[in-house]
Structure 1
């Protein structure tokens, strides 16, 4: 790995357990270019962020892991400071991006921690690369093909509970791009704060960074492309689930959002599942990072 350091004056610097700025680099993999950060020593752990976030989402959790693990934090295809290709936004292709990155970095085996869409991609990574993935953490995510789509329907039950209104909106071609352009901050701030139990954890630096990245040329297009691949993802996941995962899976939820349903979803697609629910909303690594690390570290240690 090359060692291009951020400066300590950088507002958006991520630091390791010693307060040292993490390293940053790019890699050409699977027909695109990914930006990634890395820090620490020991067995590798890759952290996969969701939407509308970037690898910066993990800034609080990374230093709680980097004294024991080599932590790799990519920006997913089309997101963050990674490139914005025209295609390849289904979760299988995006998981192959990560597999190629980890192989290029020399990691034959590794743990995968994913949240939101990063967890969906993490599931496909475990399915498609079972010899490389030692354990999977599936945090605060619904899985296409397994009741995700049902939460997009306008029903009394959804309207009173987990109604994912934005998914259908994103599926309409061209109109979301038109309406979101120039209003990236309003959309991202609303989505992130409304899905948390503790909205004040959506700090100004994080919101600024997310808005910066999604406002880049191709940023919103790429975000929408991930959602627009959801029906393909559902087909991929149903096919994959015909053979359940045998590796250890830790399903993590926040009681104010998906909660214990994370464990139920994983039990449909994996044999060896344990679960934990936090007093939190959708963004565990920003809302309750210390509590998350306290559950995550023993699980990783048990399967290293």
Structure 2
């Protein structure tokens, strides 16, 4: 089925958004990256999290495009981007984004990320401060040694969530065998765990994500993001403090956590709490995210 007739294709999805968005590809660091670009103004790079794709930002892209040249990237291993066997360290993936930025003719960008994308955005600002104007991290700090303390078995009364999927992603082969063609199961589970409003991510949206994650190569590649965590921790321990302005967006208990740790990771840190959401704040509270982005990036 061609992109012109496939309603779930990146080209059709991009064209459905206000802001003159287009689906594009670029060769960077030996792989092909997919990105969606639109709007006019200073460049703003957006990086998605798991189990989503660039489509995570669909609700905020049209508004952001009124002020920025919005560039939403399917990171290495995600969606329409290549799914190689290696290179999933967040520092390396930040290098992918840096090369894409150069290919697009920019030397310095604003950058924001959620989940895995937040770790890459953080690494981008840490490794390439000369190429970073401002950094926003959404509901996720860069992985650090505290991840080693997550319990395999939660004690009675331990607050949720129990992050069992971090260990699951470390297992070789079995996740591919279980999830090939059935990624919708874990997608619905993750959204059910963290959405305040289940309707914020519709069945159509979930079909978009399930299509992206159901092939065996997509499951294997997404596992690579988690299996690189040990190296990511070592890289993080070697980073200097973020020297550009940094914004943390989060909700409730994780807002409190980010408010505690982020000031120690940057020299100019501000925080904003997004109400009425948990993890998927871009999709549940897009107007609040746009408002905070305008206040911070402008």
Query: What TM-score results when the alignment is normalised by the length of structure 1?
Result: 0.90
Note the aligned Cα RMSD (angstroms): 2.0
Identify which of 259, 262, 266 aligns with 1:263. Answer: 259
Segments of structure 1 that go 5 or more residues without pairing to the other structure are: 1-5
- Report if aligned partners of 2:262, 2:269 keep a CA contact under 8 Å in 1: yes
- Whole-Å Cα distance in 1 between the matches of residues 101 and 286 of structure 2? 24
SS in 2 for 1:78: coil
Superposition pairs for residues 45-84 of structure 1, below 5 Å?
A: 45-84=44-83
Go from structure 1 to structure 2 and tell me whether the alpha carbon gap of 1:16 and 1:64 turns closer, same or farther (over 3 Å shift): farther
Residue 291 (structure 2) pairs with residue 294 (structure 1) = yes
Match of residue 165 from structure 1: 164
Aligned position for 2:97? 98
Q: How far did residue 176 of structure 1 move?
A: 1.8
Check conservation: 2:19, 2:62, Cα contact below 8 A. Answer: no
State the SS of the aligned residue for 2:172: coil
Per-residue CA deviations over 1:37-85 (Å, capped at 9, x if unaligned) read: 0001110000000001100100001111001100001101011110111
SS at match of 1:113: strand
Where 1:98 maps in the other structure, the secondary structure is: helix
C-alpha deviation, 1:172, in angstroms? 1.6
In 2: Cα distance, 1:227 partner to 1:171 partner: 7
Number of matched pairs: 292
Question: How far is 1:157 from its partner?
Answer: 7.4
Residues of 1 paired with 2:38 and 2:156: CA distance?
Answer: 44
Aligned to 2:34, the other structure's residue is in SS state: strand
CA distance in 2, matches of 1:42, 1:171: 41
Contact 1:39–1:72 (CA under 8 A) maintained in structure 2: yes
Residue by residue, what CA displacement relative to the aligned partner does 1:71-109 show, whole Å, maximum 9, x if unpaired?
001101011110111100110111100000011000111
1:276 lines up with 2:275 in the alignment: no
Deviation track 1:254-304 (CA, whole Å, cap 9, x = no partner) reads 22x633322333222112111111121101110000011111101001xxx
